[in-house]
Every structure is written in C-alpha cells, then in structure tokens.
Structure 1
Amino acid sequence: MSENRTSGVRRAVRIAGFGAATALALGLLSTGAANADTFVPLPDGQKTSPAGVTITRIGEHAVISPSMAGNGAGRTAWLSGKTFADVTATPDGTVGPNNGPANGQGSNNSSTHGASQLNTGYVIGCQVSLADNAISAGVSGGVNLSGGSLGGSVGLNVGPGEVKLVQINSKDILKPGTYSVEYQDVPIEIQGCAGYAQARAYSVVEIIGDNYSKTTLYGQPFSLG
C-alpha cells in the first residue's frame, strides 16, 4: 500500500509539473500574441444628398501590424473596402488634364479635372482625434495612390498634431449611373508618430456644373495603435 501511495504521489508531481510547463508555454504564446496583427472590423455606411447622389461603403476593415522598421514610432495599416456612388444626374464632362502640382491640394478633383468624380481614401492623424471638425479644418498634405500604384507599400510621415490624407483611388463620372471603387489590403506605412494614431475613411462625390455639389461620407475612426 505504501509503495502504491508513493508511486501515486510521484505521478501527481509529474502531472503537476507538466501542467505548469504547459501553462508557462501558453503564457509565452499570449505574450507573443500582443505583437501580432490586429483585425479591425468597421461598420458599413451610407449618405444621400439633395443633389441625387448616394454614397455607400461596405466591407471595410483594417489589419494593423507593427512596422517592419521596428523603431516603436511606426506601424502598418492594411486597408480594404468597397465604395459605391449612385448618381442620378451629372453634366457632360471632359476627363483631364490633372492640373496643379502632383499630389497637391486641389489637384485631380472635379474642379480641376473637368469631370464629376468619385474618390475615396483615408484621413490619418497623429495624436489627433479625427472628429468631423478636425477633418474640416484641413489637412497638411498627403499622398495620391490612384493611377495604378496600389501594388506597393506607401510610406507616410505624420508628426504629432498633423492630419494627412491618402487618396486610395478615384473614378470619373461621365453620365448618370452607379460607380464603384474597391480596394483590398492596401498597405500604408505610418512613420514619425510616437503617440497614438487614428485613421478614418472618406468617400467624396463631386458633381460639376452650375449646380455644383460635393457629398462626403466618412467612416468610423479607428486606432492605428
């Protein structure tokens, strides 16, 4: 009996030791998971204007990952979504030219481009809460990814208190109808922001002509870490 009891105690100690080792391994995995990618689901949205324009955004999400630079002040956002624009009326327009300096404010929009247009992208801020009033105050600059450059990662330097705009893509609207812009896992590398950073999707439809209108649909702000 005493041998059986001793054997049972030893077996229990071995099991307890195995359990402790397993718990330690799981703890290490959990610690590693803190540095893993973060999936951010975002709600659909819609806006209709008196000008007969309806903008709808669906399937938007982001994946946030640590910067490959590993400097603590950077992160990468992989952005996906789809935007539709239903346009009931628009004057005839002429595509191009894209006036103004490359990526400059006011370039490649309906007032300089010559045609009604749908464009979509993201407003990105460092240590700034991206409420509507922060966006309407203007942006300090940005990057235009439209024109076939969606395949590579884009670096964006955003300092404390700065708000910048990244236009993902655009589509000319030459007659009434439904237009869409879709993007999948577009990588944007944010550098220079040691504090918290936020991003927020925007989609804009501008209608040219005597009854000029601009309809903007913003998405839900989300943290970039």
Structure 2
Amino acid sequence: MSENRTTGVRRSVARAGVGAAAAAVAFGLLSTGAANADTFVPLPDGQKASPAGVTITRTGEHALISPSLAANGAGRVVWVSGTAIAEVTETPEGEAGPWNGPTGRPGSNNSSTHGTSQLNTGYIVGCQVSIADDAVSAGVSGGLSTSGVSAGGSIGVGLGPGEVKFVQISSKDITKAGTYAIDYQDAEIEIQGCAGYAQARAYTVVEIIGDNYSKTTLYGAPFSIG
C-alpha cells in the first residue's frame, strides 16, 4: 500500500477554552458573554465503502465560525479542519483523457476529473436552502464546479438566497492502488451576501476512470454558519 498525503491551508487561530467548551457541550461558545463570539462546532466522523474497491473515511472534522470583519450582517467566516482518506484497492485502468472511454459503455468519457482518477474534498455551502443529501446529490453527480483554497490564503463565497455552491479545499490524483489522504487545518471560507441563515457540509468524492468507471461520495453532517 502506498500512502499519499497533502497538507492543506494552515492558519493560526486563537482557541483559548476550546477543549473545555467542546467537552461541556457539542455546540458551544469559545468566548462566553461576547455578543459576537466565535463558535466551535465538533462534527462526527464518517465512512462509506463502494463495491468498486473504494473506501472513504473522514475524521477529526470541526469548524470554527466567526462574524465577518465586514460587520454588515450578511457575512461570516468559517475555518474548517479535518482529514479525508481514500483507500483504493483496485488499480485504475489507464489514465486516458475524458473523452476516450469505450463507446456506449461507462468509461472515462463520463469523468469530471478531466482524465485522471481523483480524490476531491471540500464543502457545500448554502444560503436559506436545505443541503440534505437529496438537495446536493445532483450537483455532485453532475460534476463539481469549484474554487480551491490557495495555500496561505482564503476563499470568498458570494451567496444569494436559495443558492448552493461547492468550495473545493484540495484534490489529489490517484495513479495506483493505495491510501490517499488530504489533511486540512483552519482552511478559511468567507461568506458574503447571505442575510439569512447559511449552512455547510463536507463532501469527499473519489472518482475512478477507465473501463470500470466509478464515483463514490461521502457527505459530512450539515452545520449552521449562523
């Protein structure tokens, strides 16, 4: 088994009292008594296995939610952390381009990764809309239109009422059977334009191209961003 690991965006965030707050309640305030306190949200681990020889596991996920520095009532910031792991037991059958799959059969012509088997993880963010499984499955199965968080930076997401957007944290090409992992720590997502309630949830997709095409998706638990 080979192991491939990517370390995502790292950002220093003050967390005084996080451990005590998380131990006392599942959804607590880091700074009690403050009108605009940061909120620490621990999230459950998850796992999904597919008949195609792919197992996805997410561990250590949590979020830290803050009001936006813009202080306009329509913005907020969330720092997300976690580890997404893909165990691939079947070697991908070739690394052909996205239109070279066999005619009339599932193949790389169905790929949204543009010719390479891939592990892809990020967050689905919605404004005043449910992001339950049935609400987001069409967007994942249709291919992810995403923006990635760059190293040392953050990503801004403009959201209007009823909108859902996919925010990619990172991706890793899968070239052979093995274990592939993406670690991310305090990746910053800034949301603007959503005056109502906002939600987010993690997604992790493993897409294997070739004659035996497969796509496996693991969602995280939805959480409020205020």
Task: Confirm or deny a common fold (TM above 0.5).
Answer: yes
Q: Residues 110 and 81 (structure 1 numbering): CA distance in 2 closer, same or farther, change over 3 Å? A: farther
Tell me how far 1:89 sits from its aligned partner: 0.7
Q: Which amino acid aligns with 2:114?
A: H
- Per the normalisation by structure 2, the TM-score is 0.75
What is the aligned partner in structure 2 of residue 81 from structure 1? 82
What SS does structure 1 have at the residue aligned with 2:136?
Answer: helix
Per the alignment, in what secondary structure is the counterpart of residue 135 of structure 2?
helix
Task: Report Cα offsets for 1:46-104 as digits up to 9, x if no partner.
Answer: 0000001000000000000000100010000001000100000132544989xxxxxxx
Aligned twin of 2:151: 150
Max radius of gyration: which structure? 1
Residue 204 of structure 2: aligned partner = 203
The aligned residue for residue 160 of structure 1 is 161
| Deviation, structure 1 residue 151 | 1.6
- Please give the root-mean-square deviation of Cα atoms over the aligned residues, in Å: 2.2
Counterpart contact for 1:116–1:173, Cα < 8 Å:
yes
SS at match of 1:136: helix
1:12 corresponds to which residue?
none
Q: Is the 8 A contact 2:113 2:207 kept in 1?
A: no
The Cα offsets for residues 194-223 of structure 1, whole Å up to 9 and x where unpaired, read as 000000000000011111000000000000
Contact 1:93 1:114 in 2 (8 A): no
Are the aligned partners of 2:93 and 2:211 in contact in 1 as well (CA < 8 Å)? no
Distance (Å, rounded) in 1 between the aligned partners of 2:91 and 2:152? 32
1-side partners of 2:76 and 2:191: how far apart? 5
Question: Per residue, is there more helix in 1 or in 2?
Answer: 1
Decide whether the 8 Å contact of 1:93 with 1:116 is kept in 2: no
Aligned-partner Cα distance in 2 for 1:130–1:192: 18
Please tell me whether residue 126 in structure 1 is matched to residue 127 in structure 2. yes
Give the equivalent residue in structure 1 for 2:178: 177
State the one-letter code of the partner of 1:155: G
What code does the residue aligned with 1:71 have?
Answer: N
Please show how residues 97-136 of structure 1 align to structure 2 within 5 Å.
110-136=111-137
SS at match of 2:134: helix
For residues 16-57 of structure 1, what are the alpha-carbon distances to aligned partners after superposition, in whole Å with 9 as ceiling and x for unaligned? xxxxxxxxxxxxx9542x311000000000000000100000
Q: 2:216 maps to what in 1?
A: 215
Maintained 8 Å contact 1:119/1:204 = yes
Determine the C-alpha separation between the residues in 2 that align with 1:164 and 1:57: 21
- SS of 2:184 mapped into structure 1: strand
The structure whose RCO (Cα within 8 Å, separation 6+) is larger is: 2
SS at match of 2:195: coil
Conserved in 2, the CA contact under 8 Å of 1:55 and 1:83? yes
CA distance in 2, matches of 1:84, 1:38: 26
| Mapping of residues 50-61 of structure 1, within 5 Å | 50-61=51-62
For 2:38, the equivalent position in structure 1 comes to 37
The worse-fitting range, judged by mean Cα deviation, of 151-160 and 42-51 is 151-160
Provide structure 2 residue ranges, at least 5 long, that are not aligned to the other structure: 1-30, 99-109
Equivalents in 1 of 2:224, 2:136: separation in Å?
Answer: 16
Q: Which runs of 5+ in 1 are unaligned?
A: 1-28, 98-108
